[in-house]
Amino acid sequence: MSTQYDHVSVVKKSNVYFGGLCISHTVQFEDGTKKTLGVILPSEEALTFETHVPERMEIISGECRVKIADSEESELFRAGQSFYVPGNSRFKIETDDVLDYVCHLEG
C-alpha cells in the first residue's frame, strides 16, 4: 500500500464536521477523481455521515465500528481494512482513538 499520492491538487480549505470531530481535505487527481484524507476523533456518540456517491472508506490507522444504512449490528474495521457505502445512503462510525482514513469517492 502506497503511503503517499503524487501529482495531485489539494483543496486548501478543510472540511470540518461535527464541531471538529472529523476534519478532512479533498485531494483531486489528474484523471478527475477525488478522495478525502481525514481524521476522526473519539466521541461519546457515533457520527452519522450521508453519502451522495458510493464511497470506500480505507482505514489508515486506528480502528472503528461501523453501521451501514439500517444495519442493526456494527462491524469492526482496523488499519489496512476498508468498507463500502452505497451512494444516497448513510453510515454511523464510532472510534475510541484517533482514526486516520482515506475516503475514495467512487461516483
Q: Which amino acid is at 67?
A: K
The pTM for the full model equals: 0.94
DSSP string for 47-58: EEEE-SS-EEEE
Per-residue pLDDT band at 82 (split at 50, 70, 90): very high
Residue 31 has pLDDT above 80, yes or no: yes
The average pLDDT across 7-19 equals 97
pLDDT over 90 percentage in the chain: 95
Largest interatomic CA distance in the chain: 41
Residue 2 has pLDDT above 90, yes or no: no
Mean pLDDT rounded to a whole number for the chain: 96
| Residue 71 confidence (pLDDT) | 93
Residue 1 has pLDDT above 70, yes or no: no
Please state the φ and ψ torsions of residue 18, each to the nearest 5 degrees: 55, 45
Grid cell 486516520 is found at: 100
Q: Are 63 and 105 in contact (CB under 8 A)?
A: no
The average pLDDT across 57-68 equals 98
Boundaries of every domain in the chain: 25-77+89-105
Return the half-sphere exposure (C-beta side, CA atoms, 13 A cut-off) of residue 65. 12
CATH 3.30.420.40 fits 25-77+89-105, yes or no: no
